[in-house]
């Protein structure tokens, strides 16, 4: 089975209220799954890496073997490809976890895309953030 993973993360304040989202799309264009998560207070980079992890875990659970990963974070793409080192200690465990998850797929290609091509994941991030902002205080 093959799919494309679009993932995005965002933080309002950096650090600030943060969310991650991932969307899996079948080759014919049908939506397979949407995953959104509120992270609490986090940086944009943590949100981006967490979005990737959410998507990789969902793809793995679905039995997807060939995965096309599309991210609008050029930094995460370059770190995944090994072009940039992951220097921040807080991001290193997320990076290691992503590499571990990627090994389970038969084939993976990772590419940077403009934000407009990542609109589904970007929209989901903002929905999660807006829902949390409007949630009653507990």
* CATH code of the domain containing 94: 3.30.420.10
Residue 82, domain member (yes or no): yes
90 in any annotated domain: yes
> Is the previous residue joined to 15 through a cis bond, with omega within 30 degrees of 0?
yes
> Mean pLDDT throughout 63-77?
97
Is 138 among the domain residues?
A: no
**Does residue 97 fall inside a structural domain?**
yes
| Domain containing residue 44 | 2-133
For the stretch 47-66, pLDDT in tens is 999 999 999 999 999 999 99
The DSSP code sequence of the chain is: -EEEEEEEEEESSSSEEEEEEEEEE-TTS-EEEEEEEEEEEE-HHHHHHHHHHHHHHHHHHTT--EEEEEES-HHHHHHHTTSS----TTTHHHHHHHHHHHTTSSEEEEEE--GGGGHHHHHHHHHHHHHHHTSPP-
- pTM here? 0.95
Instruction: Examine the pLDDT at 138 and tell me if it is beyond 70.
Output: no
Residue 85 lies in a domain: yes
pLDDT of residue 137: 66
Q: Report the relative pairing of strands 16-25 and 2-11 from DSSP bridges.
A: antiparallel
Per residue in 120-137, pLDDT tens?
999 999 999 999 888 776
Span 35-47, average pLDDT: 97
Domain count, the chain: 1
Do residues 46 and 93 make contact, with C-beta atoms less than 8 angstroms apart?
A: no
Q: Left (φ > 0), alpha (ψ -120 to 50) or beta: where does 61 sit? A: alpha
| Percent of the chain whose pLDDT exceeds 90 | 94
Residue 55 domain flag: yes
Structure confidence by residue, pLDDT tens digits, 85-96: 999 999 999 999
Whether 54 maps to a domain, the answer reads yes
Q: Does residue 78 fall inside a structural domain?
A: yes
The whole-number average pLDDT for the span 24-53 is: 97
């Amino acid at each position: 089975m093959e799919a494309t993973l679009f993932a995005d993360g965002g933080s309002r304040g950096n650090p600030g209220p943060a969310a991650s989202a991932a969307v899996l799309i079948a080759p014919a264009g049908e939506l397979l799954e949407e995953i959104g998560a509120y992270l609490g207070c986090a940086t944009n980079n943590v949100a981006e890496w967490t979005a990737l992890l959410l998507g990789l875990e969902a793809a793995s659970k679905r039995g997807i073997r060939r995965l096309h990963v599309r991210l609008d974070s050029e930094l995460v793409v370059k770190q995944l490809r090994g072009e940039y080192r992951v220097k921040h200690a807080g991001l290193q465990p997320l990076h290691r976890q992503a590499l571990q998850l990627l090994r389970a797929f038969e084939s993976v290609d990772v590419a940077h895309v403009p934000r407009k091509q990542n609109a589904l994941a970007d929209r989901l991030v903002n929905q999660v953030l807006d829902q949390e902002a409007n949630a009653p205080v507990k």
